[in-house]
Structure 1
Amino acid sequence: MSSLLHITNGDRFTERLSTLELKGDIITWREMLCEGKTLTTVGSESFWKTRFDFLNKNYKVSKSWFIEKTLKEYRSLCNHKQQDQIVLWFDHDLFCQVNLLAVISWLLANRKYAQISLVSSGLDPKTKTIRELTSLTDDELREMYAHRVMLNQDDIEFADYVWQLYCSNNPIRLEHLTDFKDYNFSFLGAAIARHLRRFPTISNGLNEMENNILAVAAERQHKNKAALVGSLLQQQGNLGFADTQYERAIGRLKPLFTGLNPVRLSRKGKAILEESNNYYSALQDNEVYLGGALKYSFLYNTESNRILKL
């Protein structure tokens, strides 16, 4: 078995990476820990039970699919015990950065003596925009691999600490983190800031993502929900969400539309978007978690960019 192991952010990139013929085995981390309740003990029985319960309830993931796609790959990771070099391939967005934290936390507990390195999204020098790993050319990926960032013990322990805070019941503790620049995680600070904006705002009870859904719907007419989702995917910034996540969010906001074929906001939807009405009470749900915190136990103040506990 190779002494080098690659852990990727998803199947799409695993397929791409396999064509580069780099040395080492490849494991795919198949999770979306940016949604639903998370526990600090990554890989424990309670951790996987919590994750399956969320995915089954909200995305209709079957037990057989979960075992075949997620648990089997995780068990393969557990069986790779001899690798002393581990390369992490994760993008800049919130989706990937939260998964990255969990993986590093697991490695700290289970692969203490491995050398861990990180390959993240690339900055396009011409457009000054951040590009996903899958959008890079083979030569660009090889170049980034050759110059990957070696994580030191302080980096690894910091990532684990941020994971502990992400899984805590109080996101205000994340808000107080200000030293991201002292560690080798170029995109983590922005991802955590985006995570905090997923709590409902004081102004209308919707979070940033939900407000963006209404704003994009109001900007121009979309002929159907699929067209709206397409626009949202193009304008989501560093969330890194997929169409299924947006479809679920649109489902929560459905009463604010008169229809989705074509897409039209209702009078109430427009009032909430204009912040002359508040939708908090209609959305409030004491079973919705963001990491370890209940989503509707906190409010985000868009003027001060601070979290408030109810």
Structure 2
Amino acid sequence: MSNILHILNGDATLGGFEQTGLEGNVMVWREALSEGPVSKNVSSADFWEKRSEFICKAFDETPEHYHDRMIVHLEKLNEPYHEINLWFEYDLHCQINLLGAMMLLEQQTNLSAPAIYLICPAEFPGIENFGGMGELNGGQLEYLYDTIRVQLGKYDFTLATQAWNLYVSHNAEALKVWLDETLFWGNLHQLKLAMQAHLKRLQVNENGLNYIHQKLLDIYKSGITNKHEIYSAFWQTEKIYGMGDSELDIYLSYLAHRGYILER
């Protein structure tokens, strides 16, 4: 068994990663913790039961498929690695998944054993409108590993725990205070922007709509009513959320249910 584990942010990165010469076992984090029920104890059976229920309902998944693609792989974290590398990006989707992975490691791993590193690119040299690590080949991923990889320390895990606890609390005021008062972000360089984006989801306007609902509604009202064109228009300005079609559909369905739009 290798002494190194790489946790990848999704299947899009796996193809490129398999082209690298990097040693180690691989675990793909196939979750979307930025949507649906979450709680403080990520290592509990109840946490993953609720996630399975949500994922199966929201994304037309089966419990067996979710179990095989996500739950089974969590067992890898019980193995005695000397080094764990977390490959996650800057957007809210990835940052919340990163927090979840860090909480799981902290709650069920002896952190004095493995060195834990983060590879978290917000851009890539020579690539305009960088869309994420799924665009990169093996050589480019090795470049990130060699140039931006940072070792996470005790402060980073303290900060991540604070962020996670605020995330699961759904308390906009407490999150705003924390964002205003936190002046040093350690090695979690992308966390502040992501949590600021999340704050905008917690705040609702007089119509009961949050920032994403209102943004999608404005796009719809501008005359863009085809779903895929709505996605594209949203992504042009809101890459920070890192949402795919299925996640945006949750918000569009809410707008349709409220009678704001006609779903197509």
- Does the TM-score normalized on the shorter chain lie above 0.5? yes
1:300 is aligned to none
Write the distance in 2 (CA, Å) between the matches of 1:12 and 1:19: 13
- Among the aligned pairs, what percent are the same residue? 27
> Whose radius of gyration is greater, 1 or 2?
1
Residues 137-181 of structure 1 deviation map (CA, whole Å, 9 limit, x = unaligned):
543321210131111121122212221222225343222223263
1:83 is aligned to 81
Write the distance in 1 (CA, Å) between the matches of 2:125 and 2:183: 23
More strand by share: 1
Rate the CA distance shift 1:260–1:165 in 2: closer, same or farther, 3 A.
closer
Is the 1:121–1:131 Cα contact (8 Å) retained in structure 2? no
Secondary structure of residue in 2 paired with 1:167: helix
1:104 is aligned to 102
Write the distance in 2 (CA, Å) between the matches of 1:186 and 1:84: 24
Rate the CA distance shift 1:226–1:125 in 2: closer, same or farther, 3 A.
closer
One-letter amino acid matched to 1:94: L
Write the distance in 1 (CA, Å) between the matches of 2:103 and 2:116: 12
Rate the CA distance shift 1:126–1:143 in 2: closer, same or farther, 3 A.
closer
Secondary structure of residue in 2 paired with 1:116: strand
Write the distance in 2 (CA, Å) between the matches of 1:253 and 1:241: 17
Aligned-pair CA distance for 1:104: 0.8
Aligned-pair CA distance for 1:236: 2.4
Residues 41-99 of structure 1 deviation map (CA, whole Å, 9 limit, x = unaligned):
11311111121222233333221112111111222333xx2211111000100000001
- 5 Å-filtered alignment, 1:1-310, equals 1-78=1-78, 81-109=79-107, 110-113=109-112, 114-124=114-124, 131-147=131-147, 148-168=149-169, 170-177=171-178, 178-179=181-182, 181-222=184-225, 224-254=226-256, 255-257=259-261, 259-260=262-263
Aligned-pair CA distance for 1:126: 6.0
One-letter amino acid matched to 1:166: Y
Rate the CA distance shift 1:164–1:124 in 2: closer, same or farther, 3 A.
same
Aligned-pair CA distance for 1:133: 1.6
Aligned-pair CA distance for 1:20: 1.0
Gaps of 5+ in 1: 262-310
Structure 1 segments of 4 or more deviating over 4 A? 124-131
Residues 267-288 of structure 1 deviation map (CA, whole Å, 9 limit, x = unaligned):
xxxxxxxxxxxxxxxxxxxxxx
Gaps of 5+ in 2: none
Rate the CA distance shift 1:241–1:156 in 2: closer, same or farther, 3 A.
same
TM-score, L = length of structure 1: 0.76
**Worse-matched range after superposition: 240-249 or 125-134:** 125-134
More helix by share: 2
Rate the CA distance shift 1:130–1:179 in 2: closer, same or farther, 3 A.
farther
Write the distance in 1 (CA, Å) between the matches of 2:162 and 2:5: 24
Rate the CA distance shift 1:53–1:127 in 2: closer, same or farther, 3 A.
closer
Rate the CA distance shift 1:180–1:72 in 2: closer, same or farther, 3 A.
farther
Q: CA RMSD in A?
A: 2.2
